[in-house]
Structure 1
Amino acid sequence: MQFKNMITGAAVLLASAPAVMAIGSATVVNNCDFPIYYASVGQSYTADMQEIKGNYTEKYSQEGVGISIKLAPVASTSGPVSQFEFTWANGKIAYDLSNIDGYPFSAGGMEIVPSKQGDSSNPTCVPVDCPAGEAVCTAAYNHPDDTRTMVCDQDSDLVLTMCPSGSSKRDLEASHQGHVHYRVHARHMPKLA
């Protein structure tokens, strides 16, 4: 009888425990025929560029902190860089692509695909597609005052594929060669409430 009471008591405790919400992750997949380097930085920390070996995955772990995964075809602090940016807050994940500091992947393109795409309750949980061969990706931030942020529930995984249609040769334009600023851009993110 005492064993039965312990089981009943444990079941009551589990039933009354708050539900733990699943938290997703951000992944970068290198599908290009050249190395891609990344540095994941936040508002108060920096990182050195490292080569992506296959894929790079990062769980949403810092609520309210904007994260920017800087991406470049060279492990250097100079030259163009694209950014995969996201902020996890209030049960949502806001995300975007930024080419404010250049677009070194224009030849092969890039695409973010959320694992749980939008419906009527979450219409902005959609892919962000920068097609191969376009010098300017209109789905990405190209100027600080653009508005290109999408929002999903926090349990949606975001997968950014570089060269989504297959291999592409590196295409660096001399006009984009300049110093790269490794920082999170201050933009008007949607209020996640």
Structure 2
Amino acid sequence: MQLTTFLSAATAIVATASARSAVDLNKSCDQKQPLARIINRCDYPVYLWSVFKGDGCPTDQMVTLKKGETYSENYQDPQNGVGISIKVSKSEKCKSNDIVQLEYFLETTKPGFSYNYLDVSYVDCQDGGCPTKNEGYYLQAGNQTGKVSASATNTWCPILSCTDAASCAKISYINPDDVQTKTCDLDQNTNFYMCGGEAPDEDYSSAPAASSKQAEYSAPAPTSTKASAPTLNLKVDVAAVTKAPAVKEVEKQQDAKTKTQVEVVYVTAFEYVNAKRHAHGHARRHQPFHA
């Protein structure tokens, strides 16, 4: 009986996870509510899936994003302790070696740590041919006014800009044990402009929406990135491509004492004990986002 109950519960979890659809999320997105938006400025179409960790890329849940089109989804709560990965590929086949991921995790259960933890990941871009890896990107979290302006370290409500593989590596996840998670308020949008490190010169909020197209399914192969006993390095490298907006000294002090510490504590919490011992398994710091 216990086994039957366990299997039933597991089946229900899988069914719930599999029900997630980028097509539906894009269609139903309320532009007046907090959201993640991807704008394709590349000279080629891209293919997009929005999933929880371990879901793979279902065949009927792919969105095609042509040049000039946008994909938007209202922020979704974590499931079973993992956040959202919006996977983007040049291929209609969702593989584990040619995608860039915009990832976010809404933390709402820990007082004092309730923020949106976000990043751009090239962990599953092993062949280097994924979108933006060589063309760069521009990301803005928050509306850049008042307390949601980018911090001096660019870890709080950041403006991230890169133009090639080298500069993108300074502000994105390349290896699972990197420290490139940023934070912003839960009610602030995240805009990810693909291809080109320059700020947008037009308002993309009313740009054409993405179209859906059934994708050919290719189950992602398990990734195995073996980390070699890293030390606890809490330094965040920031590309010197785009200068962060100026902030008041009071805000800088507040950021240094609170928000930056929040990000660091959260990122290292999963393997805090092992990190102190410089043990293996440090890559779990990226697991809430990596899907």
TM tier relative to shorter chain: 0.5 to 0.7
Question: Which residue number corresponds to residue 26 of structure 1?
Answer: 36
Alignment of 1:103-118 (within 5 A): 103=128, 104=130, 105-116=132-143, 117-118=149-150
TM-score, length basis structure 1: 0.67
Per-residue CA deviations over 1:31-75 (Å, capped at 9, x if unaligned) read 111001111111363433431251111111214640001111111
Count of matched residue pairs? 155
Over the aligned positions, Cα root-mean-square deviation in angstroms equals 3.2
- Measure, in 1, the Cα distance between the counterparts of 2:98 and 2:190: 23
Counterpart code for 1:85: E
More helix by share: 2
By relative contact order (CA 8 Å, sep 6+), the higher-ranking structure is 1
- Measure, in 2, the Cα distance between the counterparts of 1:131 and 1:115: 21
More strand by share: 1
How far apart are 1:133 and its partner, in Å?
Answer: 5.7
Counterpart code for 2:87: K
Question: Which residue number corresponds to residue 19 of structure 1?
Answer: none
Structure 1 SS opposite 2:140: strand
Q: Percent identity?
A: 27
Match of 2:121 among 81, 98, 110: 98
Q: Is 2:189 the counterpart of 1:157?
A: yes
Counterpart code for 1:36: V
Contact 2:76 2:84 survives alignment (8 Å): no
Contact 1:65 1:87 survives alignment (8 Å): yes
Contact 1:132 1:163 survives alignment (8 Å): no
Contact 2:142 2:184 survives alignment (8 Å): no
Larger Rg: 1 or 2? 1
Question: Which residue number corresponds to residue 65 of structure 2?
Answer: 52
Query: Structure 1 residues 181 and 97, CA, compared in 2 at 3 Å: closer, same or farther?
Result: farther
Counterpart code for 2:191: V
Question: Which residue number corresponds to residue 67 of structure 1?
Answer: 84
Counterpart code for 1:82: V
Match of 2:53 among 38, 43, 52: 43
